[in-house]
Amino acid sequence: MAGDGGAYRLRCSLLGHEQDVRGITRGLFPEGGFVSVSRDRTARLWTPDGLNRGFTEMHCMRGHSNFVSCVCIIPPSDLYPRGLIATGGNDHNICIFTVDNTAPLYVLKGHTNTDFITTGEDRSLRIWKQGECAQTIRLPAQSVWCCCVLDNDDIVVGASDGIIRVFTKSLERTASAEEIQAFENELSQASIDPKTGDLGDINADDLPGKEHLNDPGMRDGQTRLIKDNGKVEAYQWSVSEGRWIKIGDVVGSSGGTQQTSGKVLFEGK
C-alpha cells in the first residue's frame, strides 16, 4: 500500500446494509469505488464522495433470495467495457450485475468473452460460457472453496481435503494416464450425502441397474444414479470423453441400509 508511513485513522463509516457485511471487493468503475455484499441479501456499489471524504451508495443490487456471501469483479470485455459484478449467495445462485443496473443481468443456477468459473459445497467446479454451464468437474472433497485462473488458462482449485489441484486444457500439461486413473479412483470411492449435494426426490428402490449407463448423457455434468450390488452409485456424463464417470456412492440416512436409504436424484432432476 502506498503512503507516507503514517498511522491509519478512521475516514468514514457507511450505513446502508441492514445485516452483517459478508464480502467487499474493489471495483473497476467508478474509479476508487468498491462493492459490498451482506446477509441482508443485497450488493451495494459505493462511489467516492469527494466533498465529504466519504462514499455514496450508487446502487443497491437485488437478486438473491438468501444471504449474499461473496463478490468479485469480472474484467472488462468488448461487450461490457466497465466489467461486471458477480455475487454468490446461500440460495445456490450466482447473480451477474452490470454497474448501471440494480437487477441482475444473469442469474446462474446449478450452482461476451464473459467466461468464468465457480466453486461450491456440492463438490464441484463449474465452468460457465455465455451464461450456461459448459463443464462440471467433481472433486473427491466435500467442499470446493476457491479457485483462480493462471495466465496460461489453467485452473487452480483449493478444497476442504487440503489438496490443491490444477486442471488444464493443454495436452502437453495433462497428467499421466496413471495419475488421472488414480484421481478417478479416489473420486469413485467418495461418499455423497444426498442432503448436501444436488440429490433428492427419487427412492433408491426405483433406480435402474448398471445397464442404464449404456445410454449417453444429454449434457456435460449430467448426473445419473444406478443401483449396483445393493449400493447407490452416482455417475457424471463427460462430453469430452464420451463416457460416464463414477463420482461416488450415495449414502442415505433413513430406512433400509446405509447405502440404499433416503431420497436420491434420478436423471439430474
pLDDT the model gives residue 85: 95
Question: Residue type at 71?
Answer: V
Task: Return d(Cα 234, Cα 54) in angstroms, integer.
Answer: 53
Give the number of other Cβ atoms within 10 Å of residue 89's Cβ. Answer: 22
For residue 30, whether the previous peptide bond is cis, meaning omega lies within 30 degrees of 0, is yes
**Of 96, 97, 161, 74, residue with least CA distance to 123:** 161
Whats the size of the chain, residue-wise?
269
Handedness of CA 24, 25, 26, 27 (dihedral sign): negative
Residue 136 parent element (H or E): strand 132-138
Q: Which CATH code, of 1.25.10, 2.60.40, 3.30.60, 2.40.10, is assigned to 115-174?
A: 2.40.10
Half-sphere exposure of 196 (CA within 13 A, CB side): 16
Task: Return d(Cα 194, Cα 182) in angstroms, integer.
Answer: 25
Give the number of other Cβ atoms within 10 Å of residue 117's Cβ. Answer: 16
Task: Return d(Cα 268, Cα 253) in angstroms, integer.
Answer: 20
pTM: 0.56
Task: Return d(Cα 141, Cα 123) in angstroms, integer.
Answer: 6
pLDDT the model gives residue 264: 37
Query: The cell 468473452 sits on which residue?
Result: 113
What is the residue-level pLDDT of the chain in tens, covering all 269 positions? 555 667 778 888 899 999 999 999 999 888 889 999 999 999 999 999 876 678 999 999 999 999 998 999 998 888 889 999 999 998 889 999 999 999 999 898 866 445 778 888 788 888 888 767 888 888 988 888 888 888 888 899 988 888 889 999 888 898 888 988 888 888 888 777 665 555 555 466 778 888 888 888 888 878 888 888 777 888 888 887 888 988 888 876 333 333 333 333 444 43
Task: Return d(Cα 244, Cα 232) in angstroms, integer.
Answer: 15
pLDDT the model gives residue 87: 95
pLDDT the model gives residue 207: 83
pLDDT the model gives residue 191: 75
Residue 188 parent element (H or E): helix 177-188
Buried b / exposed e along 151-185 (16+ C-beta atoms within 10 A)? eeeebebbbeeeeebebeeeeeeeeeeeeeeeeee
Distances (CA, A) of 6 to 53, 61, 140, 187: 18, 36, 48, 52
pLDDT the model gives residue 268: 40
pLDDT the model gives residue 43: 96
Task: Return d(Cα 137, Cα 245) in angstroms, integer.
Answer: 11
